[in-house]
Chain A
Amino acid sequence: MGDASAVARESQDKDKRYDRQIRIWGKDGQRKLETANVCLLGAGPTGSEAMKNLVLGGVSSYTIVDGTKVTERDLGNNFLMDKSSLGQSKAECCSRLLQDFNESVSGRFVAETPEQLMDAKPDFFDGFDLVLATQLTSAYQHKLCDICRKSGARVVFGRSYGLFGLVRISASEHTVVESKPDNVLLHLRVKDPWPELAEYASNFDLESLDDMTYKHVPYVVLLIKLAEAWKLGHGGNLPQGRAEQRDFKAFVRSQQRRRRGEPEGVADEGENFREAVENAHYLWSPPGVPSEISRYFADPACEEITSASSHFWVCMAAVKDFVAERSGGALPLPGSIPDMTATTDLYLDLKRLYDSKAEEDCDWVFDRAIQILSRTPGADPSALGRDYVKGFCKNCAHVKVLRFPTVRQEQEGFLGGASQSSYLQSLLLSEDTAENAFVYLMLHAADRFRQTHGHFPGKFDDGVQEDVGGVKSIVSSALSEAGLPTIPVAEEYVQELCRCGAGEIHTVAAVVGGIVAEEAIKLLTEQFVPLSGTLVYNAIRSTTLRIGKF
Chain B
Amino acid sequence: MSGTCSVSGAREACLGSRVLCVGAGGIGCELLKTLVLSGFSNITVIDMDTIEVSNLNRQFLFRRRHVGQSKAKVAREASLRINPKAKIVAHHANIKEDQFDVDFFKSFDCVLNGLDNLEARRHVNRMALAASVPLVESGTAGYRGQVTVHIKGETECFECQPKPIPKKYPVCTIRNTPDKPIHCIVWAKDLLFPRLFGGEAVGAEAEREDEGKNGGEDEGKDRSDIEVSERAEGQPAVEYGCVVLREVYGDAIARLAAVEDMWKDREPPTPLSSDVIAAGRAIVQGRARGGDDKVPTSASLALGLSDSHATWSAEQSAAVFLMAVEILLDGHADRVGKLGFDKEFPLSVDFVTAASNLRSHCYGIEPKSSFDVKGMAGNIIHAIATTNAIISGLIVLEAQKLLLRGLRQDDDGATLTPWTTFVQHNPTGGRLLQRIKPLPPNPKCYVCSKAQVVMEANTGLMTLGRLVDDVLRKALAFAEPTVTVGSTMHYECGDDLEEDERERYDALRKRSLGDLPGDPIGHGSLVQVEDFSQEMSVELLVCHREPREGEDPDFFEVKGEVKGQDGGRGGEDEPEGEGDSDSDDLCVVEEAVGEKRKGAGQEEPAKRQRAS
**Residues of A with Cβ closer than 8 Å to B?**
8-9, 11-13, 15-24, 27, 45, 49, 52-53, 56-58, 73, 76-79, 82-83, 100-103, 162-163, 178, 180, 182, 212-213, 216, 271, 338-345, 347-348, 458-461, 499-501, 503, 505-511, 513-515, 517-518, 521, 528-532, 535, 537, 539-546
Contact of A79 among B33, B364, B431, B608 (CB under 8 A): B33
Q: Do A517 and B385 have beta carbons less than 8 Å apart?
A: yes
B608: chain A residues within 8 A (beta carbon): 216, 339, 341-344, 347
Given A20-B384, A542-B433, A344 and B301 contact (CB-CB distance below 8 Å): no
Q: Please state if B143 and A24 are interface contacts (CB–CB under 8 Å).
A: yes
Write the nearest CB–CB distance from B43 to chain A, whole angstroms: 15
CB within 8 A of A345: which of B64, B81, B266, B380? B266
The closest CB in chain A to the CB of B56 belongs to A17
Contact for A13 among B53, B179, B363, B386, CB less than 8 A: B53
| B54 lies within 8 A of A20 (CB) | yes
Among B329-337, B477-485, B540-548, B594-602, the one that faces the other chain is: B594-602
Knowing A20-B380, A506-B38, the reply to whether A339 touches B604 (Cβ < 8 A) is yes
Closest residue of B by beta carbon distance from A20:
B383
Q: What's the least CB distance linking A536 to chain B, in Å? A: 10
List chain B residues, Cβ under 8 A from A513. 389
Give every chain A residue within 8 A of B84 (Cβ-Cβ).
Answer: 82-83
Contact call A82/B81, Cβ cutoff below 8 A: yes
Q: Nearest-CB distance from A59 to chain B (Å)? A: 12
The CA of A521 and the CA of B5, in the complex, are separated in Å by 30
**Which of A57, A76, A347 interacts with B83 by CB under 8 Å?**
A76
Q: Give chain B's interface secondary structure class.
A: loop
- Give B548-586 as 1s and 0s: 1 = Cβ < 8 Å from A's Cβ atoms: 000000000000000000000000000000000110000
Is the CB–CB distance between A23 and B380 below 8 Å?
yes
* Docked-complex contact A23 and B3, CB < 8 angstroms: no
Q: Does A21 contact B382, Cβ atoms closer than 8 Å?
A: yes
- In the complex, the chain B residue whose C-beta lies closest to that of A500 is B5
* Contact between chains at A24 and B384 (CB < 8 Å): yes
Query: Is there contact, CB below 8 Å, between B6 and A507?
Result: yes
10 cross-chain pairs, A with B, having the tightest CB-CB distances, nearest first: A510-B393, A514-B389, A514-B390, A511-B393, A506-B37, A8-B306, A518-B386, A20-B383, A53-B385, A507-B393
Known: A510-B393, A532-B428. Contact between A339 and B5, CB under 8 A? no
Given A16-B54, A542-B394: A459 and B380 interface contact (C-beta under 8 Å) = no
On whether the beta carbons of B385 and A461 are closer than 8 Å, the reply is no
Instruction: Say whether A342 contacts B609, CB under 8 Å.
Output: yes
CB proximity of B299 to chain A, nearest CB, Å:
13
Question: Would A546 and B595 be within 8 Å (CB), given that A507-B34, A507-B397, A537-B433 are in contact?
Answer: no
Is B273 engaged at the interface, CB distance under 8 Å to the other chain?
no
One of B88-96, B207-215, B419-427, B531-539 at the interface: B419-427
Q: How far is the CA of A102 from the CA of B385 in the complex (A)?
A: 13
- B609 and A182: CB pair below 8 A? no
Q: Kindly state the separation between the CA atoms of A535 and B427 in the bound complex, as whole angstroms.
A: 9
Q: Bound state CA distance, A78 and B34, in angstroms?
A: 10
Q: Is B132 an interface residue (CB 8 A)?
A: no
CB distance from A8 to the nearest CB of B (A): 4
Q: Which residues of A contact B39 (CB under 8 A)?
A: 76
Kindly identify which residue among B58, B386, B426 contacts A20, using a CB–CB cutoff of 8 Å.
Answer: B58
Distance of A13 Cα from B67 Cα, bound (Å): 13
Question: Are A461 and B38 also in contact (CB < 8 A) when A16-B54, A20-B582, A507-B393 are?
Answer: no
Question: Number of residues in B with C-beta < 8 Å to the partner?
Answer: 87
**Min C-beta distance of B102 to chain A, whole Å:** 30
Asked whether A540 lies within 8 Å of B267 as measured between CB atoms, the reply is no
List, in ascending order, chain B residues with CB within 8 A of A49's CB: 389
When the two chains form their complex, are residues A501 and B394 in contact, meaning their CB atoms are under 8 A apart? no
Q: Is the CB of B265 within 8 A of A21?
A: no
B2 at the interface (CB under 8 A from A): yes
Other-chain contact of A535, B7, B298, B432, B595 (Cβ < 8 Å)? B432
Q: Is B435 an interface residue (CB 8 A)?
A: yes
Contact present for A510 and B392 (CB under 8 Å) = yes
Q: Is the CB–CB distance between B1 and A501 below 8 Å?
A: yes
B244 interface contact, C-beta 8 A: no
From the candidates B266, B306, B581, name the one contacting A344 in the complex (CB within 8 A): B266
Residues of B within 8 A of A103 (CB): 64
CB of B505 closer than 8 Å to a CB of A: no
CB–CB B309/A20 < 8 A: no
Q: How far is the CA of A16 from the CA of B400 in the complex (A)?
A: 37
In the complex, what distance in Å separates the CA atom of A341 from the CA atom of B429?
A: 32
Given contacts A57-B384, A459-B1, A540-B415, contact A341 B607 (CB under 8 A): yes
Q: With an 8 A cutoff between CB atoms, is B387 at the interface?
A: yes
A-B contact list, 28 entries, CB within 8 Å: A8-B301, A12-B306, A16-B53, A16-B54, A17-B57, A18-B57, A23-B601, A27-B309, A56-B57, A78-B37, A79-B82, A163-B7, A212-B609, A339-B604, A343-B265, A343-B609, A344-B365, A345-B267, A461-B2, A501-B3, A505-B4, A506-B4, A506-B37, A507-B394, A514-B390, A514-B393, A531-B428, A542-B435
Q: In the complex, which residues of chain B have a beta carbon less than 8 angstroms from the beta carbon of A507?
A: 6, 34, 38, 393-394, 396-397, 400
Chain B contacts of A459 at CB under 8 A? 1
- B57–A20 CB distance below 8 A: yes
